[in-house]
Amino acid sequence: SQQGEEDPQALSIQEGENATMNCSYKTSINNLQWYRQNSGRGLVHLILIRSNEREKHSGRLRVTLDTSKKSSSLLITASRAADTASYFCATDSVGYGQNFVFGPGTRLSVLP
């Protein structure tokens, strides 16, 4: 079973609307990170939120973390066509070893 799992798998919205993506995980974490990937390119780091934080902002991005529900959300406000990409959460689990896992991603399409 996957540690990080995004929901929905795909999301299509109009420019100017807000986009919300969710990530659920199974084990205790040190931190959770969100990344963006444009088609066939490398990933770009967006935000890192630590287990003792509940909310972080960066420009039009807002990330929340609920450790009791083992879930995180990424909100993109006032979306633009350039936000079209795949968004991944990655969890750094407590413990040593193979603990850094990416979810399968949410494919966001922002239509002009």
39: its two tokens: 């088609």
Cα 30 from Cα 82, distance rounded (Å)? 31
Among 33, 72, 79, 84, binds other proteins (CB under 8 A): 33
- Asked if 13 touches other proteins (CB under 8 A), the answer is no
DSSP β-bridge partners for residue 31: 50, 92
Q: Quick one: CA torsion of 23, 26, 32, 37, rounded to 10 degrees?
A: -50
Q: Are strands 106-111 and 10-14 parallel, antiparallel or unpaired?
A: parallel
Instruction: Determine, following the binding rule CB under 8 A, whether residue 104 of this chain makes contact with other proteins.
Output: yes
Binding mask 43-82 for other proteins (x = CB under 8 A): xxx--x----------------------------------
Residue ranges in contact with other proteins by CB under 8 A: 2, 30-31, 33, 35, 40-45, 48, 88, 90, 92, 97-98, 100-105
